[in-house]
Amino acid sequence: RVGAVLAATTVTLSLGATPATATGRGHGHGGTGAPGAPGVGDGYFPAAGNGGYDVLHYGLDIRYEPTSRAFTGVATLSARATDRLSRFNLDLRGFEVRSVTVDGRPARFDRDGQELRISPPRGLAKGERFTVVVRYDGTTGRPTDIEGALYGWVSTPDGSFVANEPDGASTWYPVNDHPTDKASYDFRLTVPAGKTAVANGELVEQRTKNGWTTFVWRARDPMASYLSTASVGDYELRRSTGPRGLPIIDAIDRDLGPDAADGLARTKEMIAYFTELFGRYPFTSYGAIVDDDEDAGYALETQTRPIYSGPPSEGTVAHELAHQWYGNSVSPARWQEIWLNEGFASYAEWLWEEHSGGRTAQARFDTNYARPETASFWNPPPGDPGATNLFAGSVYTKGAMTLHALRTKIGDKAFFALLRTWYAANRDDTVTTADFVELAEKVSKRQLDAFFQTWLYTPGKPASW
């Protein structure tokens, strides 16, 4: 396993180096700054995101026809340069790019793999705000991630299933595709009349004209690109109100049976319970997208509106809800930190089960701990699973066990104070495991390096901690 992880790292590093060789071209001289980096420097996904700017807002205007899979997009990005730039990159896979403007003026551009390189007519000053408009179109397909799993804009028989984790947002819009650059979003989605398009945030407009319906969704809270969605299907929108007036908008596929939403029945109680445990619900609305895909086992915590490929279980609903705090508001600063998402959401699932009268978290820990050294979830170490093992069982189960073991070590009072403070101190931000260890030591007044070394970074079943 370790060998495979090292090999994968070497390959991705050399891929990451490729775009850098292009910096030797004729740009970047004469006081106009230098080209922005083709990646943010994520060790697992070196080409993900880009350097030199910060996107503040995405306006995505998309027209999609599910039968032909014809897709036309106009992406308007408001950004701020964080360096003096002669050129900068966006991430975009596939499509024909028809034009790019920067502040209304045509900009030269070229493509290299997932990199869309844009040279504005004049360099950008450090701190300068600018607007990029990219017009692009094509026919969508069924893209796959580094592990060969479907992700991004996945065309389905009745529309699209859009779930980008970790780096699939670039399969449908030009993006600074890394959680370290959160932004607000407006989606203007035009689909054949009768279809429903669902995105993050709230539906602010719906209008049908000449056989096409435009759905405008607004997501005001900062959002990482992997959590954006714009899913199209035969959905019925169901509106209700959660705790403290929180708008809840569910989209349920009309082709599913009457029990399709059974797993969602206790969502409002879950929001109230997690609010009490973790702190206030992070965003402006909530809800679920429940699709009718044949392969029904996939779920993603898309911000404010988790997406399920089929009717979810109550446990999965609790898991995706908990991600709104841990993962979506408090996000990984690099993909190596994925256990901060999955370990936390899995542990929240255990806490919900205990709260609702099922197995206790202790019982679930004990059952897992009784499993032999050969059980799959002991490896790879959740603190550094490798780019092709982001969603390994260990990241979820050993990650949740890490939190339970920590709880028994530092006591309930310190543990739950830690969960609350972790959220309160890092809302709308990104974090590392080192940040978590530091806070855990501060809150508990204990030295915890050896504990986390054992649980997160050492292969196998911990013997003592």
Q: Which residue is nearest to Zn ion (CB)?
A: 345
User: How many residues bind to Zn ion according to rule CB under 5 A?
Assistant: 2
348 lies in the binding site for ligand ARG (CB under 6 A): no
Work out which of 130, 212, 391, 416 binds ligand ARG, going by CB under 6 A: 391
By beta-carbon proximity to ligand ARG, the closer residue of 196 and 309 is 309
Q: How many CB atoms lie within 10 A of CB 192?
A: 16
345 lies in the binding site for Zn ion (CB under 5 A): yes
Site for ligand ARG in 124-163 (CB under 6 A): 145, 149, 151
349 lies in the binding site for ligand ARG (CB under 6 A): no
Cα 107 to Cα 35, 132, 175, 187, distances in angstroms: 14, 9, 17, 24
Gap between the Cα atoms of 206 and 199, Å rounded = 13
Cα 263 to Cα 150, 270, 283, 313, distances in angstroms: 24, 12, 22, 5
Buried b (16+ CB within 10 A) or exposed e, 416-443: eebbbebbeebeeebbebebbbebbbeb
314 lies in the binding site for ligand ARG (CB under 6 A): no
Question: Residue ranges of the alpha helices (H) in 279-383?
Answer: 314-322, 339-355, 361-369
DSSP for residue 280: S
Q: Which does 300 bind (CB under 5 to 8 A by kind): ligand ARG, Zn ion, none?
A: ligand ARG
387 lies in the binding site for ligand ARG (CB under 6 A): no
Q: How many CB atoms lie within 10 A of CB 18?
A: 14
Work out which of 219, 223, 345, 448 binds ligand ARG, going by CB under 6 A: 345
- Return the H-helix or E-strand segment holding 80: strand 70-81
Gap between the Cα atoms of 145 and 432, Å rounded = 23
By beta-carbon proximity to Zn ion, the closer residue of 47 and 227 is 227
Work out which of 301, 337, 353, 384 binds ligand ARG, going by CB under 6 A: 301
The contact mask relative to ligand ARG for 156-195 (x = CB under 6 A, - = no) is ---------x------------------------------
Q: Strand, coil or helix: what is 187?
A: strand
Partners of residue 206 on adjacent β-strands = 215
Gap between the Cα atoms of 409 and 79, Å rounded = 45
By beta-carbon proximity to Zn ion, the closer residue of 181 and 342 is 342
318 lies in the binding site for Zn ion (CB under 5 A): no
342 lies in the binding site for Zn ion (CB under 5 A): yes
Instruction: Tell me the pairing of strands 307-308 and 289-290.
Output: parallel
Q: Which does 384 bind (CB under 5 to 8 A by kind): Zn ion, ligand ARG, none?
A: none
- Do 175 and 225 contact (CB within 8 A), yes or no? yes
By beta-carbon proximity to ligand ARG, the closer residue of 58 and 298 is 298
Work out which of 191, 248, 300, 440 binds ligand ARG, going by CB under 6 A: 300
Q: Which does 404 bind (CB under 5 to 8 A by kind): ligand ARG, Zn ion, none?
A: none
Look up tokens 């996945």; give the residue: 154
Binding site for Zn ion (CB under 5 A): 342, 345
Q: Which chain residues interact with ligand ARG by CB under 6 A? A: 145, 149, 151, 165, 299-301, 319, 342, 345, 391
